[in-house]
Amino acid sequence: MNRPVTFRRRAVGEMDTPKPAAVGRAARRFMGKRQWAVDDFTPMEETRDRARMIRLHTLANLHTYLDQFADSVERNGGQVLWAADAAEANRLISEVIGRKEGSLVIKSKSMVTEELDLNAHLQAEGHTVVETDLGEFIVQLAEDHPSHIIAPVMHLTRQDIGELFHKRLEIPYTDDPEELNAVARRHLRRFFLSADVGISGVNTGVAETGSIITVTNEGNGWLTTAAPRTHIAVMGMERLVPTFADAATIVEVLARSATGQRLSVYTNVVSGPRRPGDPDGPDELVVVIVDNGRSRVLSSDASEILACIRCGACLNVCPVFREVGGHAYGQVYSGPVGSVLAPGLADFTEAVDLPFASSLCGACREVCPVRIDIPKLLVHQRVRATRENDPFRWLGPGLGLYAQAAKRPAAWKTLLAATRMAGRLKGDGWFHRLPLHAKGWTQSRDFPPPARESFRQWWKANRSGT
């Protein structure tokens, strides 16, 4: 009975730390901000419908738009490389960097490079890799992993960060966010200005113009793509729209949904390396388009999840995410979107328990800017997980035991009496661990205490004879 209990183990571990309070607080503040921006010039509901249609249309014609996108990038003077999986992507990126003899690499936040574990790969090759998003920089200093798509250090308090800067950057301890911020600005500035290579993710590519769009609030995305001689953009293959006007719709919806802004502070559109006469900008632009399981997801029951624009809103409203935080998911993509995406990307060889880490309350579907029916996709993934990897094998024998007992009145009475007795012996009456085949139930939930008397006993005492 090797049921993978990884999510449960990690979740219980996370709930024992002060992190959930920090995560819950942060997630709720995100939601407050979101509401602020919902009423505006732009008719939000129509724009969401538009964004959804654009994304579904792109996915339904993805090969055509990828082809057009690659032509457009090349027409702008950029180069396009194609990576079937993480290993190939890492190798291609190494080759581009290696040929530059450069070893200082700056990065702006990118989930897809997390997926590739690119930093570890480049460091192993002797390059220095510096994360420049403040949150990611903190994560890198702490040798930790991001816990949220938009807010990677949601799980750390300002005191944690103060301690970390004090230890790793050798500055006097402070937990004032303004000061910590200034320290990071000073520290990272020389990396921006002297780096050989800048690596960015891609929020949206534009097939028509060959543009790649990154959005940041700090400005690190812009600096990463403007200062170094070489810019490598790593793009999940589904992150595309047909036209520039479509991209405008997507970034408008994204900013509102992610942080409640009308637009992110820096929406950065890169269409090729610097043109003749440009005083600055990269001499070279390489776009690495990554599959890494996406075509598998596209051809599965969960295709729709690829319409995701990574706003993070579904994480903030998810009661499970708010309780356990991003790390409990043990995957690059956490929360509702991660629970659908992660097992699909990994071909159900891992993370198969994640689709079960949801109460299917539907809050994610309500909030999703492109109206992805996440609960439905979670159920699809559950069916598939059960078919291929049966994480609920315990349920069959458990129900068998119940059936055996239920068919024999004497056995049934004994079983009930025993559980009632056991329930009274324990402090709160709840069972945290059931024996034998029933233990699967308590692996992910506590079992309620039995009633003091059985229905039959109650009936005998109160109703018999009337």
Measured distance CA(466)–CA(461) in Å, rounded: 11
Query: What are the Cα distances from residue 375, in Å, to 85, 205, 313, 368, 432?
Result: 28, 28, 15, 11, 28
Answer yes or no whether residue 310 interacts with ligand SF4 by CB under 6 A: yes
Which of 213/318 has CB closer to another protein? Answer: 213
Tokens of 336: 């509702």
Answer yes or no whether residue 197 interacts with ligand SF4 by CB under 6 A: no
- Distance from CA of residue 193 to its chain's centroid? 31
Measured distance CA(344)–CA(300) in Å, rounded: 8
Per-position DSSP letters for 258-273, written without gaps between them: HHS-SS-SEEEEE-SS
Q: Which of 110, 125, 22, 128 is nearest to 332 (CA)?
A: 110
Using CB under 6 A, which of the segments 109-117, 139-147, 182-190, 368-376 binds ligand SF4?
368-376
Instruction: Report the SS3 class of residue 348.
Output: coil
Least distance CB 318 / ligand SF4 (angstroms): 9
Q: In which element (H, E) is residue 234 found?
A: strand 230-236
Least distance CB 325 / ligand SF4 (angstroms): 16
- Residue 254-293 contact track with ligand SF4, rule CB under 6 A, x = bound: ----------------------------------------
- Residue 328-367 contact track with ligand SF4, rule CB under 6 A, x = bound: ---------x-----------------------------x
Residue 269 binds which entry of ligand SF4, another protein, none, CB below 5-8 Å type-dependent:
another protein
Answer yes or no whether residue 313 interacts with ligand SF4 by CB under 6 A: yes
Residue 370 binds which entry of ligand SF4, another protein, none, CB below 5-8 Å type-dependent:
ligand SF4
Residue 96 binds which entry of another protein, ligand SF4, none, CB below 5-8 Å type-dependent:
none
Answer yes or no whether residue 215 interacts with ligand SF4 by CB under 6 A: no
Tokens of 10: 């990690």
Least distance CB 168 / another protein (angstroms): 15
Least distance CB 236 / another protein (angstroms): 12
Per-position DSSP letters for 154-176, written without gaps between them: TT--HHHHHHHHHHHS-------
Cβ–Cβ under 8 Å, residues 360 and 375? yes
Query: What are the Cα distances from residue 358, in Å, to 88, 167, 178, 371, 378?
Result: 33, 38, 37, 18, 8
Answer yes or no whether residue 369 interacts with ligand SF4 by CB under 6 A: yes
Answer yes or no whether residue 314 interacts with ligand SF4 by CB under 6 A: yes
Using CB under 6 A, which of the segments 130-138, 262-270, 276-284, 309-317 binds ligand SF4?
309-317
Contact footprint for ligand SF4 (CB under 6 A): 308-314, 337, 367-370, 372
